[in-house]
Amino acid sequence: MSLFDWFANLRKSEPNIQQQQEREIADGLWTKCPACGVLTYTKDLQANQFVCPECEHHLVIDSHKRISQLIDSQTWQPLGDNLAATDPLKFRDRKSYSERLKETQAKTGLKDAVQTGIGLLAGFPIALGVMDFSFMGGSMGSVVGEKLCRLIEYATFNHLSVIIVCASGGARMQEGMLSLMQMAKISGALSLHREAGLLYIPILTHPTTGGVTASFAMLGDLILAEPKATIGFAGKRVIEQTLREKLPEDFQTSEYLLEHGFIDAIVPRTELKSTLAQLIKLHQPFCSPLRETTSNQQQSKEEKSHLSIGLT
């Protein structure tokens, strides 16, 4: 084989090498940071809780990953998992609302935009709600409101702290007034939880906007946020057009809100679980860490019947 033929064959093989590299990236072996563009081995990124090791950008993650990061292994017990939305208004744009629900449920594997349940966080029993932005933008509809209310009522009855990880574009327009009613509904349940002297901590992630921000996301005893998360009610452009003035570049970021007293602390994702455990321990020193989930076995028959009525 001549030298010319060897170079010709090498050039033919180059596209195959490039296609193989692209296929490896597409298969999920590597993840590109949307902020700095650095490629990170996905397993290393997962070990760092999906925080870029180069620029510390917090990647958007789903509710399953959130639960695995916060809840001790094999202690998660979902609540209200059977609840699914209907289409009471027969809403339709390019597609009917019922069709959109079916498509999103098949795509995400979720019934709606929040997962709720109880589990142990560093040994402490808690009630946890995790919103999922991949389900119709984490929009708050009737099911989101109902699941969070049941979670809070369960926590109040069983003297548990409540933690809600917020990620939402706001109220779900396809449910109209029924969606807006959830703001007052959840706020009322939180009021009773607070009267019982129990701790509630919302965690604001990117993005937390609309009716969620206008209700339970800002009602915490302590309000935590992830770094550089977008947090607000109306969009920045809408506010600028209303006020007719230019807003700061960092407007509606967690750093801006911390500076102006809207939130209590910015906590990196890698430190979130340990921080929450410390806060629960300080607020409820009588609540000692559990090593296994025996709380359900120790409940009386009367308590069990009460809970079963509340969760059917």
pLDDT at 297: 41
Per-residue model confidence as pLDDT tens digits over 56-86: 999 999 999 999 999 999 999 999 999 999 9
Q: Which two tokens stand for residue 273?
A: 């679980």
Closest CA to 127 of 54, 201, 227: 201
Q: What is the DSSP secondary structure assignment for residue 290, as one 8-state letter? A: P
The fraction of the chain above a pLDDT of 90, given in percent, is 79
pLDDT at 128: 98
Average pLDDT over residues 26-42: 87
Comparing 285 with 78, the larger pLDDT belongs to 78
Per-residue model confidence as pLDDT tens digits over 227-245: 999 999 998 899 999 999 9
Q: Whole-prediction pTM value?
A: 0.84
Partnered with residue 231 across adjacent β-strands are 208
Residue 206, number of CB atoms within 10 A of its CB:
20
Where helices occur in the chain by DSSP H, the ranges are 3-26, 42-47, 63-70, 97-108, 142-157, 176-195, 210-213, 236-243, 254-259, 269-283, 295-298, 301-310
Per-residue model confidence as pLDDT tens digits over 251-260: 999 999 999 9
201 contacts 224 by C-beta, under 8 angstroms: yes
- List domains and CATH numbers for the chain: 61-310 (3.90.226.10)
Is residue 275 over pLDDT 70?
Answer: yes
Helix (H, G, I), strand (E, B) or coil at 36: coil
pLDDT at 311: 37
